Amino acid sequence: MSVKHSLLAILNLGDCHGYQLRHELESRTGDTWPINVGQIYSTLERLERDGLVASSDVNTDGQIRYSITLSGRIEAARWLSSPVERTQQNRDELAMKLALAVTLPGVDVEKILSVQRLAALQNLQLLTTAKRTSDESQASDLAWILVIDSQIFGAEAELRWLEHVEGLLNKTAARGLETQISIQPNLARRGRPAKIKY
């Protein structure tokens, strides 16, 4: 999630200082997104540089309050009304690990799948147990429930995908296809040239 846009959305409600923004951001995301206050202040500096917020003088408590500008309000509204793009550049580490593992001779991919499935099941169990402590009738729990539900759906999707991968590998093996390959030595040479010894 964009820290920049999240801060703008909160500042749309009223002026805040950095620690207050940190608290608001964490509480409004169900305390599931801990954020370093240094990141808040560096983001505020960039927002001010870009004309999206304005800062006040230091008050008697030593705090600088930030207010959103008209440009900031427009940017916050644009962000809130735009879909979140899920691009292919976001590499899924598990998918990349398995893609590599199936090509490596001697790697037990079934064991990798088994270990990952167990971890996903344990994660799902923890998330489900944590959700039981929430109360959907309490407005204060709503942000946290939204986030934990997303994580539960993600863990369930991972388990379904692992099952799919296992089925795909079984079909590949049944067809006699060999996925594990050695380094191919005859490819065109590229990269760093060898050092010449004089």
Name the DSSP class of 66: E
Per residue in 4-57, pLDDT (tens digit) is: 999 999 999 999 999 999 988 888 887 777 889 999 999 999 999 999 999 988
Average pLDDT value for residue range 175-190: 64
Domain membership of residue 57 (yes or no) is yes
pTM score of the predicted model: 0.66
Q: Looking at 81, 108, 141, which one is the last position of a domain?
A: 81
Name the DSSP class of 196: P
Same domain, 136 and 165: yes
Q: Which domain holds residue 30?
A: 3-81
Same domain, 146 and 100: yes
Residue 82's pLDDT band, with cuts at 50, 70 and 90, is: confident
CATH number at residue 12: 1.10.10.10
Same domain, 104 and 59: no
Average pLDDT value for residue range 78-89: 79
Yes or no: say if 74 and 11 are a contact pair by the CB < 8 Å rule: no
Same domain, 103 and 74: no
Same domain, 77 and 140: no
Same domain, 151 and 98: yes
The overall average pLDDT reported for the chain is: 85
Residue 188's pLDDT band, with cuts at 50, 70 and 90, is: low
Residue 99 amino acid letter: A
Per residue in 124-174, pLDDT (tens digit) is: 999 999 888 877 777 778 888 888 999 999 999 999 999 999 999 888 877
102 vs 171: CA distance, rounded Å: 13
12 vs 73: CA distance, rounded Å: 6
For 108: left if phi > 0, alpha if psi spans -120 to 50, otherwise beta; the answer is beta
